[in-house]
Structure 1
Amino acid sequence: MNNIFTNENIKPAIRQGLAKIHFTEPTKVQEKVIPVLLAHKNAVVQAVTGSGKTHSFLIPVLNEIDEKLEYPQAILTAPSRELSEQLYQVARELRDAAGLNISIAHFAGGSDRERQLKKIDNHKPQVVIATPGRLHDFVEKKILLLDYVKDFVIDEADMTLDMGFLADIDFIAQRLPKDTTLAAFSATIPVKLANFLRKYMSKPEQIVIDNPAVISPTIKNDLLDIGSKNRKAVLHQLLTLGQPYLAVIFANTKQTVDDLTRYLQDQGLKVAKIHGGITERERKRTLREVEAGQYQYVVATDLAARGLDIAGVSLVVNYEIPRDLEFVIHRIGRTGRNGLAGHAVTLIKAEEMNRIASLEKMGIHFDFVEIKNGELVPRKHYHSRNERNNSSYAIDNRVNGYVKKAKKKRKPGYKKKIKRVIQQDKAQKNKIEQRHKIRKAKQQRKKRREDRS
């Protein structure tokens, strides 16, 4: 089967850009989706984060843009400011690598609306990446025109449904040109979402991508909670525990890579760095020196996550979790290659556990560890503690007293009384929780109306 990244229907500049950011082997979702969207067919794609779905629609979308036409030609939506920001950054990376003269704009609720309006006045965007509420606002007020839109993509469609944004998407979809190519990407396709999509897509291509094991079974994948400790100090301690043959440490920005490199060098370690701020010539020289064994540690950005192919990487460290969670898979995949054993460690704090939960949903399994007596040892997983502490119906002290007394032998009817009190307490808390949800929903609706006014 021909590699879709070299397909002649994709502009040469984009093909070169893909090679530049080290996209050489397409994922399953990219193989199936890109030809469909290049052929201007509607698609409903069921694929999890981490499957490569983002580039499966970005490549066809950027391929269709007429650089001379200064109107929105593609609209991509994501349900939250964070997700839309991630999508915006990935789109810019591909555009810049391909050297395309395409204007990409990001519009999200919760951001400075006036500043976004000035951007539109100064330069009309050709690709719009937005949250549904802000997009509704700008289209309703005719700030953004839809007359020339060729592609409309709903990313994280199930989350869009869950967050109550389908009405906003509906408003946009009704106003699109009839020949617009529509695509929805979702981890799951609930009935309500399927019915909604059917309203705008007649016999779309249904593409379902299975979620295989995303991390090689030869890799030990650990999670290290740094607590209140200094992240750099923990990293240094980790790197010097067992003297890895070759360790690659991933950070999110060029500045952090530079900072970490200096810090580790000051600790006496032989450290090389790789990021987009160094020249291609310097990068190749550094890689040659690493392969020759002149360095034991390499600090890199995600630029190297796909393209770094060095034999003998025995340890990968995620110094911080990337904004685009898909990169965790590519980072970890630098070790444990060719059937060899590998080790990956991700540094986290308690407040980042929601991101770990997202990674686990993608099929990535972590083992919790801690540093004790100069070695990594297993520790209890957060989940069991969190489930106790964050129970929807935490029992207050009064009821807790009844529960403790229940362990003693009592007169007949006493246990029933305890159960009744607990049930009443749960019912009361449930009422309060429901009122809170209703109140919060009303506030959100009110805020959306104010944002649109």
Structure 2
Amino acid sequence: MNNIFTDTRLRSEIRQGLAKIGFTKPTPVQEKVIPAMLKGESVIVQAATGSGKTHAYLIPILNAIDEDARYVQAIVTAPSRELADQLYRVARQLRDNSGLNIAIAHLAGGSDRDRQIARFEQNEPQLVIATPGRLLDFADKKILLLDQVKNFVIDEADMTLDLGFLADVDKIAARLPKDVVMSAFSATIPVKLTNFLRKYMAKPEEIVIDNPAVIAPTIKNDLLDIGSKDRKKIVYKLLTMGQPYLALVFANTKQMVDELADYLTKQGLKVAKIHGSITERERKRTLREVRAGQYQYVVASDLAARGIDLPGVSLVINYEIPKDLEFIIHRIGRTGRNGLPGHAVTLVREEEMNRVGALEYMGVHFDFVEIKDGALAPRTHYRRRDNRTAANRQLDPHMKGVVKKIKSKRKPGYKKKIKQAIQEDNRKKRKIEARHEMRHQKHLRKRKREQKR
């Protein structure tokens, strides 16, 4: 098979740019997506985090942009400011290394809107990377014109759905030209998302990149039963046993992120923290400092699991198992990227073993370990089999009924139906939690404005 990175359908500048940034062998998703998009086909792509989806669509998009035509020709949406910022940096890197004269705009909430408008009007971009809310705002105010857009990409489409931004994307998509090439990239494709995409895509090419291992084979994924020991002390011990290039510690709540970061700082570690309540300016500054190597340890909420890409993460520690079990996959996936070795350690107590069983049911494999002589050593958990069996008994009453109903029919694929039902229930709960969190943040902002008055 010909290497798509050297295909003559790509402009020579882009081929040279890919070589400069070390892109010599395409990933499976790039091998399938780039040729399809070069032919002008709409695609729906399901592939795991870290599979190379971003370059899979940015390469053909930049290839198709007419440098002499000064209007918006392509739009990429991302569900969070951090993701949009990450995509913007990747797009600029590819453009600059290719020597292309293409203007790229980054539109996201949390940044100075007036400054974004001034930049937009001063140099109208050909590629726009934006969050749905800010993109719709610019379209409503006629600052951004959609009538000549050729390519429209929805990145992290499942997260866009979960966070409630699909309505904004719907309003934008309805205004695009009829011949626009629309594509969607996602780790999962829920039914509601499929129905939305079919509304705008006549015959999209559906590309599914099988991920035989939920956790990449480059990652050593350990489970540490801490018993009655103090979690914070165990985390400190894990961080100081070796010398991780960059360690990322995940906690479930902003309050716990603050507490854990304060504790580790008092132990003499230089720790950065990232969560949703930190101001946009402070978060950007922290990320710049982490990428510059000024921090070896980062404590974060799940904002960093899907929204932030920190290169060089060699160790991930799950201080606790997330409420939404699927998030542990995204957390662990922050390490062992681009074929490099990674290490993840999840702290657990005996009463949480039912959740471990549920994760194993989802395909997450753990190696049980213990701290012995200042290092992690393998061990066998004496109740592993019992707790895995018990996992399905810990479902809430609604899901117990669903599982019982599906099992009673015992038709082919019933296990798959049970798994899909549990995942769909989790998605609904996650959406409700996200809605509550957004309302809470809105209420806090309102109170701050009233206090300033």
* Number of equivalenced pairs: 327
1:27, CA displacement in angstroms? Answer: 1.4
Q: Distance in 1 between matches of 2:89 and 2:365?
A: 27
Contact 1:223–1:369 under 8 Å retained in 2? yes
Following superposition of structure 1 onto structure 2, how do residues 105-124 of structure 1 map, counting pairs within 5 Å?
Answer: 105-124=105-124
1:197 counterpart residue number: 197
Q: In 2, Cα distance between the equivalents of 1:253 and 1:362?
A: 35
| Residues in 2 aligned to 1:112 and 1:392: alpha-carbon distance in whole angstroms | 44
| 2:5 counterpart letter in structure 1 | F
Closer, same or farther in 2 for the Cα pair 1:440/1:222, shift >3 Å?
A: closer
Q: Is 1:211–1:363's contact at 8 Å kept on the other side of the alignment? A: no
| Normalised TM-score (structure 1) | 0.59
> 2:42 corresponds to which residue?
42
1:91 is matched with 91
Separation of aligned partners in 2, 1:230 and 1:103: 49
TM-score w.r.t. structure 2 length? 0.59
Aligned to 1:308: none
Partner of 1:238: 242
Deviations 1:77-133, CA, capped at 9 Å, x for gaps: 011222222222222222222222222221112332222212213322221111111
Q: Is the CA contact 2:316–2:331 (under 8 Å) kept in the aligned structure 1?
A: no
Cα drift, residue 328 of structure 1: 3.0
Aligned-partner Cα distance in 2 for 1:128–1:218: 34
1:346-399 superposed Cα distances (whole Å, 9 cap, x missing partner) = 58999xxxxxx9x9999775657675533224699xxx9xx9xxx999xxxxxx
Write the letter of the residue equivalent to 1:376: L
- Kindly provide the CA deviation profile for residues 170-192 of structure 1, in whole angstroms up to 9, marking residues without a partner as x: 21112212222110112222232
Counterpart amino acid of residue 74 in structure 1: A
The 8 Å contact of residues 223 and 347 in structure 2, kept in 1 or not, is answered as no
Structure 1 residues 6, 435: CA separation in 2 closer, same or farther (over 3 Å shift)? closer
Query: Structure 1 253/349 Cα, relative in aligned 2: closer, same or farther at 3 Å?
Result: farther
2: CA distance, partners of 1:392 / 1:163: 23
- Give the aligned residue type for 2:242: L
Is 1:329 the counterpart of 2:336? The answer is: yes
Which residue in 1 is equivalent to 2:58? 58
| Match of residue 345 from structure 1 | 343
After superposition, the C-alpha distances for 1:36-86 in whole angstroms (9 at most, x for unaligned) are 111111111122212211111111111111222222111000112222222
CA distance in 2, matches of 1:361, 1:83: 29
Distance 2:333 2:18 in 1: 16
Tell me if structure 2 keeps the 8 A contact 1:151–1:181: yes
Aligned partners of 2:132, 2:293: CA distance in 1, in Å?
Answer: 37
Structure-2 residue corresponding to 1:290: none
Deviation at 1:156?
Answer: 1.5
How is 1:435-450 mapped onto 2 (pairs within 5 angstroms)? none
SS of residue matched to 1:158: helix
Task: Look up the match of 2:185.
Answer: 185
Q: Which residue of 1 aligns with 2:281?
A: none
Q: 1:206 to 1:115 in 2, by over 3 A?
A: same
What one-letter code is carried by the residue in structure 2 that aligns with 1:138?
F
CA contact (8 A) 1:49 1:362 kept: no
Q: Name structure 1 gaps, 5 residues minimum.
A: 240-246, 262-300, 306-315, 336-343, 351-356, 394-432, 448-453
Write the distance in 2 (CA, Å) between the matches of 1:175 and 1:210: 34
- Seen in structure 2, the aligned counterparts of structure 1 residues 361 and 75 have a Cα distance that, compared at 3 Å, is farther
SS at match of 1:72: coil
1:106 partner SS: strand
- Code of the aligned partner of 1:163: L
Q: Quote the Cα distance in structure 2 between the aligned partners of 1:439 and 1:217.
A: 35
**CA displacement 1:6-41 (0-9 Å, x = unmatched):** 111111121122122222221111111111111111
Contact 1:72 1:149 in 2 (8 A): yes
Tell me which amino acid in the other structure corresponds to 1:68: D
Q: In the aligned structure 2, how far is the partner of 1:62 from the partner of 1:361? A: 41
- Partner AA of 2:335 in structure 1: V
Taking the aligned partners of 2:83 and 2:67, their CA distance within structure 1 comes to 26
Indicate the residue corresponding to 1:210 in structure 2: 210
Note the residue ranges of structure 2 that are not aligned, 5 or more in a row.
249-286, 297-309, 319-329, 349-355, 382-386, 398-430, 446-453
Shift of residue 167, structure 1, vs aligned partner: 2.0
Greater shift, 89-98 or 124-133, is seen at 89-98
* Compared CA separation, residues 117 and 257, structure 1 to 2 (3 A): closer
247-256 or 139-148, which deviates more: 247-256
In the alignment, residue 12 of structure 1 is paired with which amino acid? S
SS of match in other structure, 1:110:
coil
Of structures 1 and 2, the larger Rg is shown by: 1
Counterpart amino acid of residue 86 in structure 1 = Q
Counterparts of 1:36-435 in structure 2, within 5 Å, are 36-213=36-213, 217=217, 220-222=220-222, 237-239=241-243, 302=311, 317-318=314-315, 328-330=335-337, 333-335=339-341, 344-345=342-343, 367=367, 373-377=373-377
Distance 2:174 2:82 in 1: 26
